[in-house]
Amino acid sequence: MRNNYLFTSESVSEGHPDKVADQISDAIVDLFLSKDPEARIACETLTTTQLVVLAGEIRCKGVYEDGAWAPGAQEEIERTVRETVKRIGYEQDGFHWESFRFENNLHGQSAHIAQGVDAAGNKDEGAGDQGIMFGFACDETPDLMPATLDYSHKILAKMAADRHSGRAPFLEPDAKSQVTLRFENGKPAAATAIVVSTQHAPGYDEGAKEAELKNYVKGVVAEVMPANLLSDETVYHINPTGSFEIGGPDGDAGLTGRKIIVDTYGGASPHGGGAFSGKDPTKVDRSAAYITRYLAKNIVAAGLAKRCTIQLAYAIGVSEPLSLYVDTHGTGTVGDDRIEQAIKGIKELGGLTPRGIRTHLGLNKPIYQPSAAYGHFGRKPEGDFFPWERTDLVEKLRAAL
């Protein structure tokens, strides 16, 4: 591993068109899981100027059964979509929660997929698809996340909170951030560059109003980031292209699943390629990515390593994972092979089968929309939400090793 280097991660706000799509897809997941904890959902969303389109495959008791919609179900879906866009804050001519055109093209799940995934007889529930999933944790921040991504998320989350509260009425929903840090001896030492592009009200691209916006953004950065990382040498690029009035789905089309690096580790870890939003937890793209983060975080929290990457692999319709791989990047206090064996020996994990993962983390609940903006990882576990961020395996791992 290199000890001295520059590294950069980016984030996008809840109003970014791709994130609007992610939040809509996960609102549909939550809606169906609230009706049927065993629902099957694969919901994709397209957003563009005054249009939202849903597509995908579903199965849900009381909503869509035997190829037919339950009375009122489609109206409830549309209402859920519009409420999601309203919560984000879009009331613009080019994209307004109340007046955009809406298409629902969801249809029944393939029977051939269902036969591989569903439990039957002596067959346990299988993985919803083949694939590889990665989890990661490091000791760069208290949340055990890469510092560049953690700060990128928190800058935008703070700006969104100020927009919703009225503290920053000149902000509009669409925004992006990027943080570059210089690392010395493997630790964050200085912020060399901060990039923030935010949609704004008319007139905030010149003169005193432009200065007000830029000073506000610098103030947010100062609130979020440790003071020792910022200096007169930190370079700020705030709305570097100039005016940013047209944004959101009106400025650029959005699709579910196009921000997978923002959703995970900001490029600090490998990624298996599968998106999370819009998928129920039988899809291992989602649930196995959550359990690998959970395991990696607990390993770092237990003091067994400073950095940890974990990979799982699955075959569609097969319950047992094909492989488990642990890499502590030379920072482990014990051998990586011993950590692998310790994980396999923890009975509460249910052998890391799809059912075992869902049961241990309690994933068959409507808990997903909050994860669809500002990252799925590094969040605070509260109640049923973000259970993969708990560190309740620390003592078991220490005892096993």
pLDDT digits (tens, 9 = 90+) for 135-187: 999 999 999 999 999 999 999 999 999 999 999 999 999 999 999 999 999 99
Reported as a pLDDT band with limits 50, 70 and 90, residue 120 is: low
DSSP 119-158: -BTTBPPPBSS-EEEEEEEESSSTTSS-HHHHHHHHHHHH
How far apart CA 270 and CA 363 sit, in angstroms, is 24
Q: Which residues are catalytic?
A: 16, 18-19, 44, 57, 176, 244, 252-253, 258-259, 279, 283, 285
Known binding residues are: 16, 18, 44, 57, 109, 174-176, 252, 258-259, 275, 279, 283
Question: What does the block give as tokens for 243?
Answer: 């005016």
Reported as a pLDDT band with limits 50, 70 and 90, residue 67 is: confident
pLDDT value for 1: 72
How far apart CA 299 and CA 293 sit, in angstroms, is 10
Q: Is 294:361 a contact under the CB 8 Å cutoff?
A: yes
Q: At residue 127, does pLDDT exceed 90?
A: no
Q: Is 4:187 a contact under the CB 8 Å cutoff?
A: no
State whether residue 38 is helix, strand or coil: coil
Give 138-152 pLDDT, tens digit per residue: 999 999 999 999 999
Q: At residue 114, does pLDDT exceed 80?
A: no
Domains and CATH numbers, the chain: 5-12+147-246 (3.30.300.10), 17-117 (3.30.300.10), 131-139+281-400 (3.30.300.10)
How far apart CA 37 and CA 40 sit, in angstroms, is 9
pLDDT value for 109: 82
Q: Rounded to the nearest 5 degrees, what angle is found at the Cα of 206, between the Cα atoms of 203 and 209?
A: 65
Known binding residues for L-methionine are: 57, 109, 252, 283
b/e 34-47 (16+ beta carbons within 10 angstroms → b): ebbeebbbbbbbbb
Question: What does the block give as tokens for 372?
Answer: 């669809």
- Stretch among 21-35, 54-68, 230-244 having the lowest mean pLDDT: 54-68
The stretch 67-85 carries a mean pLDDT of 96
How far apart CA 318 and CA 131 sit, in angstroms, is 12
Q: At residue 117, does pLDDT exceed 60?
A: yes
Q: Is 63:314 a contact under the CB 8 Å cutoff?
A: no
Q: Is 320:351 a contact under the CB 8 Å cutoff?
A: yes
Q: At residue 121, does pLDDT exceed 60?
A: no
The pTM for the full model equals 0.95
The stretch 242-254 carries a mean pLDDT of 96
Known binding residues for ATP are: 16, 174-176, 252, 258-259, 275, 279
Q: 202: which residues sit within 8 A by CB, 6+ positions away?
A: 245
Number of H helices, E strands in the chain: 11, 15
